[in-house]
Amino acid sequence: MDDDTTRPTAVRTEADWREILTPEEYHVLREAGTERPFSGEYENDPTIGVYACRACGAELFRSETKFDAACGWPSFYAPLAEDRVRYIKDTTMGMERVEVRCATCESHMGHVFGSEGFPTPTDLRYCMNSLSLRLVADSAG
């Protein structure tokens, strides 16, 4: 699933990223780490809005596509648009998965899983780290 036709447009040095991000954010976003399950601020957040990349601010998901997968991380059934994310084959941890990265800055968001039987329009679960996202609430009125 590597897609080498898209290149990040928000390019920074790793030193720049270390200055911008907290150590926990850096570990998840730049080193493809994973936050502990059931520890993220957005797992159960009902706020209506857009979920943007915490590193660069690119808008990636809408709250309308968020659903409760009871997996410990915020889950979505689709990105805002396919060109907002990049898919990378991930064979770490002794299994084959599909990593999801921000197409704008190449930061790690989480993984996408399919055919798990969730009653969503896509039967996909974009399992994202809260530390990879920043929720921008829709303005009222």
**Strand order in 49-53's β-sheet?**
59-62, 49-53, 133-137
The pLDDT score that the predictor gives to residue 64 is 97
Instruction: State the total domains in the chain.
Output: 1
Active site residue 53: no
Kindly state the tokens that stand for 113.
């899983």
- Decide if 2 is inside a domain: no
Q: Which residues pair with 113 in a beta bridge?
A: 125
How far apart (Å, rounded) are the C-alpha atoms in residues 126 and 108? Answer: 12
The pLDDT score that the predictor gives to residue 70 is 94
Residue 75's CATH number: 2.170.150.20
- Decide if 18 is inside a domain: yes
- Decide if 4 is inside a domain: no
How far apart (Å, rounded) are the C-alpha atoms in residues 103 and 108? Answer: 10
- Decide if 9 is inside a domain: no
pLDDT < 50 regions, the chain: 1-5, 141
> Domain limits at 65?
14-137
Express each pLDDT in 68-99 by its tens digit. Answer: 999 999 999 999 999 999 999 999 888 899 99
The pLDDT score that the predictor gives to residue 1 is 44
The pLDDT score that the predictor gives to residue 93 is 82
Among 53, 56, 102, 127, the active-site one is: 127
- Decide if 111 is inside a domain: yes
